[in-house]
Amino acid sequence: MLRTVKPRNARSKRAMEARQPKEVEDPRTCVFVKGTHTGEVVNNAMKELMALKRPDAITFNKKNDIHPFDASSNSQASLEFWSQKNDASLFLVGQSTKKRPNGLTFVRMFDSRVLDMIEVGVDKFVSMAEFKTPKSTPGNKPLLHFASDLFETHPRFSQLKSMLISFFNGETIESICLPGIEHVISISLSPTPQTLNTAIASADLPTTTPEDLSSLPKVHIRSYTIKLKASGTRIPKVDLIPMGPFLDLSLRRHTPPDPELLKQALRRPKLKKQDVEKGLGKKRKNFEVDEMGDLRGRVHVAKQDLSKLQTRKMKGLKSQFDEDDEQEAGGDDDVEMPMEKKQRTS
């Protein structure tokens, strides 16, 4: 636990305020941690993932004895401490052991507590350097492409999808310059095995037996740069040029998020008045924003009763002079008239 410090000057006060919770959050800062042993593959994979994550990335130069899935070790406490110290809420821990070679662990934090973890093994890795192609600018937002139905149906893969979006793109932005988008990261799976198809149909239970892990499809992460060509229409033609890194991953251990913590983490701020006017959130009837950006409302008015319309007052138009009424109710009119007048004046 970090000690709480009272800021002594304006600069440190600003820095501390920048760490306070925000309604619209900044992209998650990721800390890249090396475990006790990392091979060449893990080192390079982490280096290149960091290149994609920059500038929201911090590397630890030294090795750390950290085993996130080992509950008996104080790794979770270390992660929580680092998270507070660095104001980071994502970790990528690289560790290579004989039992689990070339392992990468994604750890996501909420409020400096571990939310969920995913361990993947790097089966194949192709570095950026192997493609003699232009690379994207650091800090540029990528497009993300997920290809498989499992990302929507299987809990393990939907967790992976959520984690990867948090890693690469977890920032809400209002607008983006389309020609400025430079690269696409594509995450696809190998074909869904028959066993998984039936398993999902029968029972939606994620079991983590070793046999089950091998049956899970592999994950292919590919990154490309985009080259736009004029097509004559609004939508330009897109050419994809392999940029690297290319990773083939297989899923290993994981920890699903704690439901209580996840519930807290999924809380959204109340929509602002401006957003509601834009038409977000609760639908408002008869309001619309036109092409000029003006808010337009439609008012429904009941049909006006024109018979009661007050026209020019003339003695001759008074009801007591009505010819047809005179025979039916002659005396009554004298009594009613003053009452009507009273009502109008009030």
Partner 1 sequence: MDVTNILSSIQNGVNQDELDDGNYILDPGYLTVTNTEPIDVDLYKCILSQTKTSTNISNKTLETLPKSSYGALFSLPTTSSPDGPLAILPPPALLLPREKPLPKPKEPTKWEKFAAAKGIQKTKREKKVWDEEKQEWVARWGWKGKNKEAESQWLHEVPANADADHDPRKVARDERKARVAKNERQRLQNLAHAAGPSGDRKKEIDRTLATTRVSTASMGKFDRQLDGEKKPRGIKRKFDPAEASAEQEKKNALTLLSQMDSDSRKMRSGPLTKEEGVLNVRKAIRSASKGQGGVALGRKLDSSKRKSRR
**Interaction with partner 1 in 14-33: which residues (CB under 8 A)?**
20-23, 25-26, 28
Q: What is the C-alpha to C-alpha distance for residues 185 and 105, in angstroms, rounded to an integer?
A: 19
Q: Does 110 bind partner 1 (CB under 8 A)?
A: yes
Q: How far is the CB of 282 from partner 1 (least distance, A)?
A: 14
Q: Which two tokens stand for residue 303?
A: 């049909």
Written as one letter, the residue type at 247 is L
Evaluate whether 185 touches 144 at the Cβ level (below 8 Å): yes
Which listed residue (86, 162, 215, 320) binds partner 1 by CB under 8 A?
162
Cβ burial, residue 56 (10 Å; 0-12/13-18/19+): middle
Which of these ranges, 198-206, 208-216, 267-275, 302-310, lies near partner 1 under the rule CB under 8 A? 267-275
Contact of 108 with 166, CB cutoff 8 Å: yes
Burial of 49 (C-beta count, 10 Å sphere; 0-12/13-18/19+):
buried
- Please report, as residue ranges, which positions from 173 to 232 form the binding site for partner 1 (by CB under 8 A): 173-181, 184, 186, 188-192, 217, 220, 222, 224, 226
Our CA angle for 68, 247, 161, nearest 5°, is: 60
Closer to partner 1 by Cβ: residue 47 or 278? 278
For residue 121, list its beta bridge partners. 103, 250
Residues in the chain, overall count = 346
Contact between 147 and partner 1 (CB under 8 A)? yes
Question: To the nearest whole angstrom, how small is the minimum distance from the Cβ of residue 115 to partner 1?
Answer: 6
Among 234, 283, 308, 312, binds partner 1 (CB under 8 A): 234
Q: Which is nearer to partner 1, 10 or 173 (CB)?
A: 173
Token look-up 């990773």 returns 247
| 86 is a contact residue toward partner 1 (CB under 8 A) | no
Of 119 and 182, which CB lies nearer to partner 1 in the complex structure? 182
Residue from 264, 322, 325, 341 touching partner 1 (CB under 8 A): that is 264
Residues in 28-57 at the binding interface with partner 1, rule: CB under 8 A: 28
Q: Is residue 172 near partner 1 by the rule CB under 8 A? A: yes
Q: Can you tell me the distance from the alpha carbon of 303 to that of 61, in angstroms, rounded to the nearest whole number?
A: 78
Interacting stretch for partner 1, rule CB under 8 A, among 68-76, 94-102, 170-178, 298-306? Answer: 170-178
Determine the 3-state secondary structure of 274 from DSSP.
helix
